Each structure stands twice: as structure tokens, then as C-alpha cells.
Structure 1
């Protein structure tokens, strides 16, 4: 799988593209392996200059404001995952016959001979939650593990650090998979596929193909979503090791070689003896926090990967019970006058918002922000029957307003026509006026936050603060 011995890297001319959260550690690691490292970066601002000074003090060359030119003598490029494939630097590298690796590929190549196997997860939504659930289940089985990749411990630290792991729970984005050609996981899951990052990939087909790379060379299980045929298609197209199985997860009763739900119980008909007749109970739906439909799907995917690794059923139950979701993911903030207020600021695209809206029966929906090219017709059409009212904020709220007018004309809509941070308090106050006991006021913006807030965390915090003000005045 490639070698990480120091002799492999001695004097090798490596260009690292990007001074980001992955570029700087990659440059330091390669320098430590005695490679001759040059970092190139498009930006040349104060932050980049400070980062460059830190690397130059170690003896690493840095070129700021010039990420397009291939440094002379380059033998390999290691890129930050966010750099788009159509960059001139990469065109020059391909013309020169050079390999281009991402940080995931570098970590994979640097693993030692006794390295921990990877259980890998990708998908448009739910990746982080699923990987955290998986790590919790693996820990409940007594295994040394960590949630790594797009979250938690960096992959390079996990691979090269002194901590010894039995298995790693790895979150991978489509960007990372694009630049990881030799990655071969023990088992992997694609949770779902919906249009996202198409400006980076160029097309839905290219996006799906990069997600599908996670299945290449799987040894034990390719886990797919029965409700999302595109994920099963990727399994069919993958070149896997002999004996690797396709394992589905479903919110319905499972067929053979699937995990699913029967009478409020998560059950396994994939990793059991005589699966034609037998099913193994793993956990109760109530063990999943929160037990919203898409989160139960995440739990089933995590359980499937853990079971593929040989984890006992009790560890699935104990791991799910021990799991606490991150902030701003369907987080129940408070009940005020019989109305539940729920923060799902992490729902930054329509697919995530659709899953969030599906979790409640009667909703006053707070939505809007930066649409990132998204369209809202399907989201509104599918969710119209659950909406009591909608309160819209943010730069692209007009797109949601138009979709509501077309597909849910009877739903009252308040257009706040605001993009200042104080708009959130006004939105929550309007939602309170519209809601009745038994309703859920749901922040599921279906949009990015950067028009009004630094990030989705700050947006969710503003919502929670506004709800607390309601409660204080109740």
C-alpha cells in the first residue's frame, strides 16, 4: 500500500497545496520524514504570513500568493481536500505525470504494517453523527478507537501518533475521497446521496463517483441505504475483495443481509447465523438519541459497520445509549407554553432540512440564509403537510418564500426581510406568536449561515439565546 519508511521520503521533492488545517500538518509530517517540502498557497494575508513564518522556521519553503505554478523539481503533490480538481497547479502536475494525494491518501500510505483497519463513512448528511455513534459502539465493545477524518483526531495524528488503536471510525468527505485513490477500508458506508458541492465536483455524476470510491477494495461489508437506490448502485459498481458483502439498512423490516426496525427494535439479519430464519435484536429505537427517523438510519449504519467488525449486539445497545449528539443537531432547547423549540442549525442544505422536518408533525419552521445554488421546491412539497407556519430570514429567503407560495399556499409565511444577527430574536418571537401547544418551532434553515453569522454554531446559539429570552419572559 505504499511505504512510510523514512528512506522512501529522504530528499523527495513534495509540494503541499494549501496552508489549511490539513496542509500545515502534512507539511510538518513530510518535513519530519526528511522530504524536501514546498508549500504553495493562493492567499497572502496576515494569517497566511504568520503560518508561513512558523513553517519557514522549521526549514519548510513557502510560496504565498502563487498556488497556480508547479514548483520546479516537484515529484509529488499533497493537496488540501478543498482545492478543486480543475486548478492550474493540478493540470501542470498531470501533464508532468505526477501523483496528487490528499491528506487522507498520505495518512493511508504512512500507516505501519500492523495499522488499525478503517471503518469509513461518507454521505451528503449524517456522516459526523454516524461516525461518532460508531466510535461509541466500538468503545462499548472494549476496543481502542477514535472518531477521525473530518472530525475529532486528525488522521495523520491517528496514524503516526503513539496511541495504539484496534480500529478507526473514519469520516470522509467527497473532497477527501477524490484525492484518496489507494484507500481500502475494512468496511464502508454511503449514508445517502443528494446534490451538494456540485460547484466543486462539476456534476452530480462526478460527486457520486467520488463518494463511491469509499467502497473500492472493501474486505468485509459495503453498507448502503435501502431507501436511497443511488447508494446501492455505487456498491454494484465497486471493485471489492472476494467475499465482501452488500449490507443494507432500512427503517422498515429488514430483508436478508439487512439491518432494520421491527416493532420499535433495531434488528440485524445480516451478521447472524441462519439469517434466512433468524434476526438478532440490537437495541430499542428509544436507545437512539434523538429517535428521529434519519437519526435511526444513522444508528443502523453505524451498527452495520460495527457488526461487520465483529462487535457483539450488547455493545451496539450500550454504545447508542452512551452517545450524545453534537450541539445544533436536532437539539431540544426548551419547552415554552407547551411548544417545543428545536435547534437544527446544522441543517445547512435541503436534504438535511428535509430529514429534520420529517421528525415532527406540526412545525413552525424558521428557515433561510445562503442557498448555495439550492432549489427548495421538492423540500417544501414533501414537507407542506407538516407546516403550521414559516418564518423566513437571510439573504436567499425569497427562494423559500416562492417555493412555499407554489407548494404550500395555505401556510402562513412571515418574511422578516432581515440579514442582521438580531433577526433571530425577531424570528423566534414571530414563531411563538404563530405556534400553539403541541407544535415544534424548528430552526432547520436549509441554507448556509455566512450571510448573517460566522457559522452554523453561532446561528444555533443565537436561536437558543432567543428561546431562553422567551422562557425568561414567559
Structure 2
């Protein structure tokens, strides 16, 4: 489908991570002359460079200089727009693509239709992975050849180049990826929510929102937005879509026209039904959603809206939601010890995700802290104050949360744990402190509202150590 002839095209791939290596190999196979650049240098990077073979050029320790003659840059998602390499590219008139743009350009027509597989795309500050996996489960229940791709499951490049082509793709897209995907035009797309995140990369909330809003550009059938988050509807209003594309809202109340919602414990579609002025269709029940926390029900409604926009019937929506199982570290019950429930939501790495998690439980002993990434915590604490039994704070930016608790929940006991410790040792201390504060009927909730890398390898390791420490309480 691409109009670009990659034969002998001088292309720079920025970043020697997983997506960079994948892009470099694909471009090499297309005949491009590929140079991979990375500002880092070390044994691990050199091993990755060696794995690419001798027919690619790899330049380590210098990710800033634009190689002479470059005609295209394909960047890994993490490289910020103000990187010297991209500023030099802008001055030289060299386009910059992300891996998603490259994949979009390389789509191939399906034998059945003569058109590429449609993309049903999802973005948002939180809930993207869960929603995309729910969507893929629904599409699978409908008998479609599909995959959850992007930041989850199969890489988007691998998906579009798969030997056995997919009929439809459920695509998770980050704001980074959307920033570098100027040609993307999904069949239908959803923005789940918007809250401050990655502002150090984007430079401002307005720039972050604008990049999220790119997902609606050129939508063909439906722009799905969150009724509880007016900023998502604003992005729909501002989008340039194809004639006939509809705005479809989702929320936890009874649905209005062209909306998905909840009525008496049932999930309801009042958008893709005949005579929606008078009719609605049952597409499932709250009990079909695992787990049935409010924010997860909203995720299910967004996934259902995208599936219905694609033409999936109501039976497949229900079957797909019932078959779905969430990833580890996402509001996962670890154990009940001494009548206290321990919940691992280590994936709640920002304030918006933590707020959704806190809203699902009461009373809560809250384990929070880590790397704040520029976030503030007043709104989060103010909203959750009445649910808090106590708080156990960890990590580099714990003081920010402690100060917010002092302002908005001064009567909530606070313990600062694991000062100077990391890894399993730290989490064992944290869990014991939380257990000492909890009463029968309480929930100890790991929903840190922060990134993990100051104390743990990643949020997964943080959650694993939490689960291990909880299980040790049972011994």
C-alpha cells in the first residue's frame, strides 16, 4: 500500500530497543540502506547491534547527529520531539516516522476484500491495554482473525507483515506513537480518558492531549469518547473525520442516543441498533466483566462500542467479555489474610489509574509512591480521602504524596517505609507495615500512582514482590 520506494533509501532508525531492532530488520528486508543510532553504549547494546548483522550500520554513543544523506528517520517511541536528531531532521526537511507510521505505510490488501485490515484503535491515559485485550477477545468470539497489537501482544509491524494476514486489528497506541503517525486513519477509535502524564516528553498538557486526539483523524465509522471525561469529547469535536463517522459516548449511567451505558446491571448499546430513538440492545451484564470495578466496566463499554462499530453482534460481545482475563498487576486479588484483602494494582503508575483503583475499594490501606514523573497528588488524595484507613509511602517522591495527605486527609495515619531499601526486602517491610495498619474488612491496595524504577526493575517486579510478601503473611 505504501507509495514509498524503500529500495536504496537512506533511512536512520533511532533507538536500539525492541521496536528499533524490528524496524531496522523490516527496512533492511525492503532494500533500504539502514543506519541505527543510539546515544547509549555498553555491552548490552553492542550485543544487540551485533545481532543485526553486518549489512546494517550501527552508531552507538551518538544519537544526536543526522547522518549525511538521510531521507527518512524511523524512531522508537521514547525519543522526545526535542531531541537534537529530530531538530536537525526538521531543518533538513527529513520526515520522522514512528513504528506505527511505518506499519501503516506497509499494510497489505486482504485477499477477501482487496483492502488492508481495518484498525480499531485505542488510546487514553489509562486502561488502553485492558480495553484492547477485551476488544481482541470480542473479535475472536465473533470468529475474526485478529490480535491485540501495538504496546501489547504482537508488535504492530509484525502484525501487518504476518504471513497469515489478520482480518482486523485491535491496536493500542500511546501518545508517543500517535505523535509520530501522521498518516494513521483508523476504521474507528476510542480515547478512554485524559489526565496529566508524560508531560516531560510532550512539554504541556495541551500538546499531550493533541497527540492523543490524532487517533480520531480520518476515522471512518465511529469516534468513541468517555461521557465522564469532557476532554475526550472535545477531541472528537476537533477531529477531521470521514463523512458519516459518528460520535459514540460511553458511560456508567443509562445511555442516551448514540451511547453505550448501564441499566439495572446490564451493558446496553443504544448506538448500533435499529431505531435508536426507541430501542437499545443488551450486550452483556456487569457480572460478565472481570473484575467488575467501575473503571473496568467503562473499559468494557469502550471495547464493545468499537466492536459494534465494526459490525460484531451482541452475542459475541458478551462471549468475548466473559472469556477475557486481565493481565497480572491490574487490580488483581492476591490473597485474603486475617479478613484483609490484598490487591495488586502495580500497573497504576499515574494518578488517574490510582484514582480509579481507589474508587473500587473501601476502606483502604493505600501503598503509594515511587517516581512521580512531574505529577501532583492533591486531586487524587482529595478524591480518595474518605476511603483511606491509612497510607504506607515508598519511593523517591513519597514526600509529594505525604504533603498532599497532610493537606487533604490530615487524620489518615501515614507510615514512610523502606527508606533506603529496594526490591523484595523493601516490599516485605512495606506489606508488614500495611498489615499492621489494616483491620478486618479492609483492603490493602498497592496502587502507587508512580513509576517503579527507583526501587524496582519495572511495575511487574514491584507487583510480584508485593504478592510474594503478602503470601509470606500466610506462612
The TM tier, using the shorter chain, reads: over 0.9
Cross-structure match for 2:178: 177
Structure 2 residue 317 is matched with structure 1 residue 316: yes
1:131 counterpart = 2:127: no
Matches within 5 A, 1:105-254: 105-114=101-110, 115-254=116-255
Shift of 1:3: 3.2
Structure 2 residues without counterparts, runs of 5 or longer: 111-115
CA distance in 1, matches of 2:68, 2:346: 46
1:312 deviates by 0.5
1:454 aligns with 2:457: yes
Which residue in 2 is equivalent to 1:87? 83
Secondary structure of 1:218's partner?
coil
Report the equivalent of 1:393.
394
1:102 corresponds to which residue?
A: 98
Q: In the alignment, does 2:440 pair up with 1:444?
A: no
Alignment of 1:362-441 (within 5 A): 362-416=363-417, 418-420=419-421, 421=423, 422-441=425-444
| Unaligned runs of at least 5 residues, structure 1 | none
Secondary structure, in 3 states, of the residue corresponding to 1:223?
Answer: strand
Aligned residue for 2:52, secondary structure, equals helix
Determine the structure 2 residue equivalent to 1:471. 474
2:200/2:373 contact within 8 Å kept: no
User: C-alpha distance in 2, partners of 1:166/1:3?
Assistant: 22
Note if contact 1:55-1:61 (Cα within 8 Å) is conserved in structure 2: no
Q: Which of 67, 71, 85 is matched with 1:71 structurally?
A: 67
Match of 1:3 in 2: 3
2:46 corresponding residue in structure 1:
49
- SS of the aligned residue for 1:465 comes to helix
Post-superposition CA distance 1:248-285 (Å, at most 9, x none) = 00011111000001111110000001111111001110
SS of 2:464's equivalent in the other structure is helix
Q: Aligned residue pairs: how many? A: 468
- Deviation, structure 1 residue 54: 2.1
Q: Find out whether 1:28 has 2:25 as its counterpart.
A: yes
Report 1:345-356 matches (<5 A).
Answer: 345-356=346-357
1:418-462 C-alpha deviation (Å, 9 max, x unpaired): 241322212212222221221111111111111111111111111
SS in 2 for 1:335: strand
Tell me, in whole angstroms, the C-alpha distance in 2 between the residues paired with 1:200 and 1:207: 9
Q: Does 1:62 align with 2:65?
A: no
User: 2:234 and 2:18 mapped to 1: Cα distance?
Assistant: 33
8 Å Cα contact 2:134/2:320 also seen in 1 = yes
Q: Could you give the per-residue CA deviations for residues 115-153 of structure 1, whole angstroms, max 9, x where no partner exists?
A: 211000000000000000000000001111000011111
Alpha-carbon distance in structure 2 between the residues aligned to 1:455 and 1:61: 31
TM-score, normalised via structure 2 length: 0.97
CA-based RMSD? 1.1
- Deviation string, structure 1 residues 12-66 (Cα, Å, up to 9, x no partner): 1111111111111111111111111111111121111112222242x01111111
Which residue of structure 1 lines up, in the alignment, with residue 113 of structure 2? none
Tell me the distance in 1 between the aligned counterparts of 2:223 and 2:460: 33
Distance 2:350 2:171 in 1: 22
Establish whether residue 18 from structure 1 lines up as the match of residue 19 from structure 2.
no
TM-score scaled by length of structure 1: 0.97
